[in-house]
Amino acid sequence: MTIDEHPTALLPRLQDVRDPFVPDGPAPVLAHLEARDISAWFGDRLVLDRVSLAMPAGKITALIGPSGCGKSTFLRILNRMHELVPSAQLSGQVLLDGDNIYSPEKKLTDARRAIGMVFQKPNPFPAMSIEENVLAGLALTGTKADRDTRESLVESCLTKAGLWNEVKDRLDAPGGGLSGGQQQRLCIARSLAVKPRVLLMDEPCSALDPTSTRVIEETMIELAREVTIVIVTHNMQQAARVSDKCAFFLASQGTPGVIVEHGDTRAMFERPQDPRTDDYVNGRFG
């Protein structure tokens, strides 16, 4: 069965209708992210076992797999959020353009600024205005900007997040008053304000309706011109529509999570090498 014959993946891949237009101006330097031999523990429980994955520059990499196999843990390791959990430990390296973000001389804040995160549930600051929400990341990272710079940043981030036209006349309105899909795009705009080089997205559409999901997917594909994207998704149609690369995680019967197979998304869906990948992408388990 090919991806196009797949009963749950009949929509055209958004990648295939990508607009070749590239705006003027200096091309962004796209970041390559690579995880090497990542193992992760909660207390003494090993949940990821020596996982390695290259996430190429300017591409969208989808992490797929059944619940509990360690996708979110892996994603959180990619920007040093795993260490927020008191019992959490890890080993291995995460290389951003060849530099290990876990090297002792690297700052946690630098890793978090360079590698942003968008969560499953939209989490804007509800009482803050739309504009303040976009600029919130600047305050958190201690970045100073004058009024003109802030205004143009708000416009460019909201535009990139696909929200500008819907909110440009009400930037003072509270972020909490937007729809769920708009709130998620506001969170994307907030992440973009600190100019990340990689954007991690943990099931960013799971709380959204199909129309909002589609808008976020289009936004992701636009963003991949400038930012390397890694997305966790349970939605096989979404992985097929948006991602260039795919990694299938599995933790069978109490064993820690590993990557069973990874590669080009189309090949993973059309010609999976491992029967477990075949079963998973064709909805036979998970």
Ligand X SMILES: Nc1ncnc2c1ncn2[C@@H]1O[C@H](COP(=O)(O)OP(=O)(O)OP(=O)(O)O)[C@@H](O)[C@H]1O
Nearest to 111, CA basis, from 202, 57, 31, 26: 31
Does 127 participate in binding ligand X (rule CB under 6 A)? no
Does 231 participate in binding ligand X (rule CB under 6 A)? no
Residues with Cβ within 8 Å of residue 271, at least 6 apart in sequence = none
Which of these segments, 19-27, 50-58, 67-75, 182-190, binds ligand X (CB under 6 A)? 67-75
DSSP single-letter state for residue 177: G
Rounded-to-integer distance, Cα 31 and Cα 120, Å: 23
Rounded-to-integer distance, Cα 223 and Cα 212, Å: 16
> Do 11 and 54 form a contact (C-beta atoms < 8 A)?
no
Least distance to ligand X, CB of residue 202, Å: 8
Choice from 13, 59, 71, 113 touching ligand X (CB under 6 A): 71
Choice from 14, 47, 135, 239 touching ligand X (CB under 6 A): 47
- Grouping H, G, I as helix, E, B as strand and the rest as coil, residue 192 is helix
In Å, what is the CA distance from 22 to each residue of 19, 32, 232?
A: 8, 20, 27
Choice from 41, 42, 125, 164 touching ligand X (CB under 6 A): 42
Count residues binding ligand X (CB under 6 A).
11
Does 73 participate in binding ligand X (rule CB under 6 A)? yes
Rounded-to-integer distance, Cα 112 and Cα 59, Å: 20
Least distance to ligand X, CB of residue 71, Å: 4
Rounded-to-integer distance, Cα 151 and Cα 155, Å: 6
Does 219 participate in binding ligand X (rule CB under 6 A)? no
SS (H, E, C) 123-155: CCCCCCEHHHHHHHHHHHCCCCCCHHHHHHHHH
Choice from 38, 51, 62, 72 touching ligand X (CB under 6 A): 72
Least distance to ligand X, CB of residue 258, Å: 12
Instruction: Between 158 and 281, name the residue whose CB sits nearer to ligand X.
Output: 281
Does 67 participate in binding ligand X (rule CB under 6 A)? yes
Instruction: Between 73 and 219, name the residue whose CB sits nearer to ligand X.
Output: 73
Instruction: Between 72 and 265, name the residue whose CB sits nearer to ligand X.
Output: 72
Category of 203 on φ-ψ map: left (φ > 0), alpha (ψ -120 to 50) or beta:
left
> Do 131 and 154 form a contact (C-beta atoms < 8 A)?
yes
Choice from 10, 27, 85, 139 touching ligand X (CB under 6 A): 85
Least distance to ligand X, CB of residue 213, Å: 17
Give φ, ψ of 117 to 5 degrees: -135, 135
Does 51 participate in binding ligand X (rule CB under 6 A)? no
Choice from 55, 69, 216, 227 touching ligand X (CB under 6 A): 69
Does 68 participate in binding ligand X (rule CB under 6 A)? yes
Instruction: Between 47 and 208, name the residue whose CB sits nearer to ligand X.
Output: 47
Category of 6 on φ-ψ map: left (φ > 0), alpha (ψ -120 to 50) or beta:
beta
Residues near ligand X (CB under 6 A) are 42, 47, 65, 67-73, 85
